Amino acid sequence: MSLPQVSSIDAEYDIIFAGGGAAACVTAGRLATADASLKVLILEAGPPTKDLHIHTQPARYLSHLRPESTTVRFHVEPHVETLGGRPLIIPCGQCFGGGSSVNWTVYTRPSASDFDDWETKYKNPGWGSQDIIPLLQKTNPNLHVVTSAHVQHILFDANKRACGVQFKWNPKFLPGEDTEPRVSSVLRSLDINVVEELPGVGDNFQDHSIAFNCFLAAPEAETLDGIIRNNPDVVAATSKEWSENGTGLMATNGFDTLIKLRPNEKELEMLGPEFRKVWDAQFAHAPDKPVIFMGPMSSFIGDVTNVPDRKYFSSAFYLAYPVARGHVHVTSADDVAAPLDFKSGYFENIADIQPFILAYKIMREISRRNHFFRGEYAPTHPEFPPGSQAAVIQNGMPIPFDTPKIVYTKEDDKAIEMYMRKFIGTAWHALGTCAMKPREQGGVVDPRLNVYGVQGLKIADLSICPSNVAANTYSAAVAVGEKAAVIIAEDLGIKLIE
């Protein structure tokens, strides 16, 4: 469906979406198609994305993470004690399509038990896997899209019914994904009018923390390094192939294989008693839940400014269900560019650290056996003690598959932990800050996505997820959007078009 970008805005609409992320686009599209008489408006703070190469060519995804990017907002936790006191930066999509327009173009579905947890553990009937997974198998002039429009306030009438929004034009695309905490958090200290007390708004922040290690690749390997470095000859050649037939390196994200890891009994012993508690509570009864996602990538991942210009490949691994919980709250009543009061909770629990140590060891063994392996790029690996068997191989060739695995000492494990604390980052999968669960448990919306205590206001994006999902979260956003369309259509008495 072609979405019209309008130059003027009508005074009244039947449905207004404050934020044009993936879930909002799905919901709005379904409703606008189902009933041509509905007037639907999407207000998005960031820029348009239609037909722009940085959004349509998978190989260009890293361009959105550059400091000068206008397609994401960078949230900063200034001082993270558990990460050695360094700042933690979490980019969130702020452009039309939200995270789906700037992501890694990786599509993975959550485990069925993830949705079942939402339904049973958090008391949300209709949100179990039997209801949600069919929605993921689905693959208008009455829908208006307005970009560069930053929603500042939701307007309520005397009966606490949402009746409109107030927005401000945002021509410079000033840094929106965590829109709900900025729009809906009500802090009396900032002289913001409190419509309804909902302490859970902005809490329950969850994310997937991720780590990368890089390896030297053979000269004949096909990698994305030339594109990432913006090499003019490589970009010109690969762009030409893309334009002519949609193939070549521009058509790939360099991430073709994904491993879902559940530790065996021996590995569980290595992970220690704190993780065992998490395992028994969350994983033992749910065989479809992985602990770690990991896989190889065909490029250097990170700032290449001072990195030798050659070919690389990397290993990546992220924790599927971190114990960590944080928060996101406003610090200003009207300045949309003001930094947030943000806390990630990364590595505050030892159970979130031990799986990374195991994943590093496994991916390192796999990478050393890669046909294109030519050594390890030392700055992206732990500083192992002198004389350690685990010492970095700075130049080398692939080892035979039957080579014995590296034996790591306690000191080696400590070096891996220190590396993780120094370099762990976000997988750009933030969710949970307006959780769909009972109000007395800190919930913000009910199973029909209504915000508790008010009328006419629903939330439909990843912020409603009460718990994490074992997937790149685009698919979860689509699921929320599809379910929201079903719910709103039922409320309006209209039938969705299949």
Q: Helix 129-136 crosses helix 112-120 at what angle (to 10 degrees)?
A: 130
Note whether 180 and 249 are same-domain residues: no
| Residue 117 shares a structural domain with residue 181 | yes
For residue 217, give the CATH number of its domain. 3.30.560.10
> Is the domain of 214 the same as that of 159?
no
Please tell me the predicted confidence (pLDDT) of residue 1: 45
Which CATH number goes with the domain that contains 470? 3.50.50.60
Burial level of 88, CB count in 10 A (0-12/13-18/19+)? buried
pLDDT, position 3: 52
In a domain, 443, yes or no: no
Residues facing 54 on adjacent strands: none
- What's the structural domain count of the chain? 2
Query: Could you list the residue range(s) of the whole structural domain that residue 281 is in?
Result: 209-426
Kindly report, residue by residue over 293-341, the tens digit of the pLDDT. 999 999 999 999 999 999 999 999 999 999 999 999 988 877 877 888 8
Lowest pLDDT segment from 189-203, 254-268, 457-471? 189-203
Residues 25-34: tens digit of each pLDDT? 999 999 999 9
Mean pLDDT in residue range 123-140: 89
Q: What is the helix (H) or strand (E) element at residue 92, kind and residue range?
A: strand 86-93
In a domain, 120, yes or no: yes
Instruction: Give 75's pLDDT tier (boundaries 50, 70, 90).
Output: confident
218 shares its domain with 288: yes
Residue 320: name the closest of 253, 268, 258 by CA. 258
Residues 240 and 158 in one domain: no
- Output the pLDDT for position 180: 47
242 annotated to bind ligand = no
Are 272 and 378 members of one domain?
yes
253 and 58 Cβ atoms separated by less than 8 Å: yes
- Residue 429 marked as a ligand binder: yes
Of 402, 426, 450, which closes a domain? 426
Q: Does the residue 142 lie in any domain?
A: yes
Q: Do 307 and 247 share a structural domain?
A: yes
- 176 and 219 inside one domain: no
pLDDT tens-digit profile of 222-264?
999 999 999 999 999 999 999 999 999 999 999 888 999 999 9
Same domain, residue pair 194 and 309: no
Residue 188 is predicted with a pLDDT of 53
CA angle, 153 as apex, 152 and 158 as ends, to 5°? Answer: 170
Q: Are residues 334 and 258 in the same domain?
A: yes
Q: Is residue 79 part of a domain?
A: no
Q: Among the three residues 403, 426, 449, which one is the final residue of a domain in this structure? A: 426
Residues 172-180 have a mean pLDDT of 42
In this predicted structure, what is the pLDDT of residue 217? 98
On whether residue 452 sits in a domain, the answer given is: no
Quickly count: other Cβ atoms within 10 Å of residue 28's Cβ.
29
Residue 90: how many CB atoms within 10 A of its CB?
25
88 located within any domain? no
Confidence of residue 175 (pLDDT cuts 50, 70, 90): very low
Residue 110 CA to residue 473 CA, distance in Å, equals 8
Sheet of 40-43: strand order equals 15-18, 40-43, 143-146
In whole angstroms, give the CA distance from residue 367 to residue 374: 10
Among residues 376, 398, 426, which one ends one of the domains? 426
How far apart CA 156 and CA 160 sit, in angstroms, is 5
In a domain, 76, yes or no: no
Q: What angle do CA 319, 323, 329 make, to 5 degrees?
A: 105
pLDDT tens, position by position, 482-495: 999 999 999 999 99
Q: Look at 86-90, 192-196, 359-363, 452-456 and tell me which has the smallest mean pLDDT.
A: 192-196
Distance CA 28, CA 44 (A): 13
Any domain includes 324: yes
The pLDDT score that the predictor gives to residue 139 is: 52
